[in-house]
Structure 1
Amino acid sequence: MSDQAVLLVGGRGTRLGALTADTPKPLLPVAGRPFLSHLVERLAGYGFCELLLLTGYLAPEFEAFQADWAGRGVTVTCRVEADPAGTGGALHLALPDLAPEFLLLNGDSLFAIDLADFAAPPLPPGVDGRLALRAMPVADRYGTVQLDQGRIVGFQPRTPGAGPGLINGGVYRLRRDAVAHLSSFPCSLEADFFPKLAAAGRLEGRVFDGYFLDIGIPADFARAQADFAPGGQAVNGKSTKE
Structure 2
Amino acid sequence: MRAYVLCGGFGTRLRSVTDAQKALVPVHGEPFLARVLRQLARAGISEAVLCAHYRAEQVAEQLAGLARDAGLPLTLVVESSPMGTGGALLNALREQPAQGRYLVLNADTFVDVDGYRLMMQGAGNALLAARVDERSRYGSLEIDAAGQLQALLEKGRGGAGLINAGVYAFTCDTFVSAAVRACSMEQELLPELLAREAVSVIEYSGRFIDIGTPESLDRYANDFRMES
Identity %: 34
Q: What count of residue pairs does the alignment treat as equivalent?
A: 223
Q: SS in structure 2 opposite 1:94? A: helix
User: In structure 2, what residue type is equivalent to 1:174?
Assistant: F
Name which of 2, 5, 21 aligns with 2:3.
5
Shift in Å at residue 184 of structure 1?
A: 6.6
Runs (4+) of structure 1 exceeding 3 A deviation are 69-73
- Residue equivalent to 2:137: 141
User: In structure 2, what residue type is equivalent to 1:103?
Assistant: L
Cα 1:204–1:60 shift into 2, 3 Å: same
**Aligned 1:7-26 pairs, distance under 5 A:** 7-19=5-17, 22-26=19-23
Q: Are the aligned partners of 2:41 and 2:72 in contact in 1 as well (CA < 8 Å)? A: yes
The alignment status of 1:196 with 2:197, answered yes or no, reads no
Cα 1:117–1:136 shift into 2, 3 Å: closer
User: In structure 2, what residue type is equivalent to 1:172?
Assistant: Y
Name which of 6, 28, 38 aligns with 1:41.
38
Name which of 202, 205, 212 aligns with 1:206.
202
Q: SS in structure 2 opposite 1:79? A: strand
Q: Deviations over 1:91-120 (max 9, x none)?
A: 111124123311111000012251223212
TM-score by length of 2: 0.90
- Residue equivalent to 1:167: 163
Q: In 2, Cα distance between the equivalents of 1:70 and 1:141?
A: 32
Structure 1 runs not aligned, ≥5 long = 124-128, 237-242
Cα 1:32–1:180 shift into 2, 3 Å: same
Shift in Å at residue 71 of structure 1?
A: 4.6
Q: Deviations over 1:156-212 (max 9, x none)?
A: 10126x122210111110124222333373211111111222344521111110000
**Aligned 1:118-129 pairs, distance under 5 A:** 118-123=119-124, 129=125
Structure 2 runs not aligned, ≥5 long = none
CA RMSD of aligned residues (A): 1.9
